[in-house]
Amino acid sequence: MREKMKESQGMMVVLSTEYLYTVYDGGKRHVVNMRERICTCRQFQMDVMPCKHALAIVRKYYMSEYEYCFVYYKKYNLLNTYEVPVYPIPDESIWKIPPDVVANIVLPPKGKIKPDRPQKIRYKNGGESRTKKSRITCGVCGQQGHNRQTCRNIPQTT
């Protein structure tokens, strides 16, 4: 939230109604509804925390930025989450599992078939030796290292 507050420093805020504001961010214009907690950048409603445009309004009109955060992000809810004790799970040998559940065999999920063409040749590991490539042989003179088109040896006619 501090980073967003820093980003909101250079923005210009114009009041439209009691809860509607227009925020100019460089060359872009955003409309923020502080009552509904909606901004045209959509970050306010997605994160359920004030976006940088809403924080520009909060800064200009000296409001509390924490007032516009969702209740789950507030400190007292975090503390209430861990208020209830969490009991450890007993040893597996003590568990009482019904026989019909023990009899069920759970298989892994089937993998999805990829839309691409299937791979024909397997990839070799770094430790595996690569197959040796055969050298090119010329069809005119019979020497290795070049082919018929690049042959410089003149064929002998008898």
DSSP code per residue over 45-61: HHHSS--HHHHHHHHHT
What's residue 34's pLDDT?
Answer: 92
Kindly give the residue spans of alpha helices, DSSP state H, lying in the chain.
Answer: 2-7, 43-47, 52-60, 75-81, 99-103
Q: What is the mean pLDDT of residues 137-152?
A: 88
Say if 117 falls within a structural domain.
no
The set of residues, in sequence order, having a beta carbon less than 8 Å from that of 16 and lying 6+ positions away, is: 22, 31
For the entire predicted model, the pTM comes to: 0.50
Total number of domains constituting the chain: 1
Q: What is the mean pLDDT of residues 147-158?
A: 78
Query: In this structure, what token pair is assigned to residue 41?
Result: 């950048």
Say if 50 falls within a structural domain.
yes
What's residue 155's pLDDT?
Answer: 66
Q: Which domain holds residue 64?
A: 2-75
Report the alpha-carbon distance of residue 87 to residue 58 in Å, rounded: 43
Say if 44 falls within a structural domain.
yes
